[in-house]
Amino acid sequence: MSESSKSGIYVRIAVYKSEPLDYQKFRHVALWFEFDNGADSVAIHIVGPNQDYQLQVREHYNPAGSRLFEKEVQVGWAKAGSTKSQLVDIVSKTPIDNTSRGFNCQVWVGDALNLLAQEGYIDQEDYLGAVDRMIDATMDAKDEPALT
């Protein structure tokens, strides 16, 4: 996004180690909004056991302060004129599929970024690149051991 069209809201993905086993499929991710006007960060993610996920919005929260924080994935600037409430509202509308065992926070974050791109809040290329980098970040964890 060009410098003149940036909003002052920077979008990131927070990637966390999983406990007790830090396997690729268990890495947790969350959307992370930071504001250049000094406002507190906001993290939005789904929490809970598989097939019973709930949306959680964490106001005044910096994911990098978590002991499980592993890395951040850059998404990009939200479009000019975007507000925190608009972004939280759009992301909160991202469906949570509690019927599928394959659904998890990684899928949800990808879907949320896609929705932000479709609604014009972030650039399509920022969305696509961020999803690729998020997958790479989750792949930094160990492979699950093969069953013998």
Tens of pLDDT along 99-132? 999 999 999 999 999 999 999 999 999 999 999 9
Phi and psi of 72, rounded to 5°?
Answer: -110, 150
pTM, entire model: 0.90
Q: Write the CB contacts of 37 (distance below 8 Å, at least 6 apart in sequence).
A: 8
DSSP code at position 74: E
The helix (run of H) or strand (run of E) holding residue 57 is: strand 54-59
Q: How far apart are CA 144 and CA 148, in angstroms?
A: 12
Structure confidence by residue, pLDDT tens digits, 27-76: 899 999 999 877 789 999 999 999 999 999 999 999 999 999 999 999 99
